Amino acid sequence: MSTLYDKLGGAAAVDIAVEKFYEKVLADKRVQHFFAHTNMQQQKQHQKDFMTYAFGGAQHWNGSTMREAHKELVAEMGLTDIHFNAIAEDLVATLVEMEVPQTLIDEVVQIVGSTAHRNDVLNR
């Protein structure tokens, strides 16, 4: 059975998606300030690794938990639902731009937009 990762187009598609996604994020006034002092090459690689894992392209995640990775952003920079929603909107816009079928976009949103994922990112 194909994974969501495979259905989306595998590594090549994830690479393109992450590049387009961060173009949108860095232009998005609602969230761009969170990345002002971020090594974007490293950030992009983390995102590629995370998406590969989250969508079934890798068996293990070797990075920080979502809770750990975003803890300082919540405590020191005020990361909230507004910002989470903005990032989700930027991701969906990226997938639409890439002409990903709506059924697959819905699967992506179900994973990254889940209440459990939101609560982890926002340290609830």
**pLDDT means per 10 residues in the chain (124 residues)?**
91 96 97 95 94 91 88 93 96 96 95 89 91
By C-alpha distance, which of 73, 113, 66, 64 is closest to 91? 113
pLDDT score recorded for residue 59? 86
Q: Give the predicted TM-score (pTM) of the model.
A: 0.91
pLDDT score recorded for residue 77? 92
| Residue 25: Cβ within 10 Å count | 21
pLDDT score recorded for residue 63? 82
Residue whose structure tokens are 């392209």: 57
pLDDT score recorded for residue 1? 66
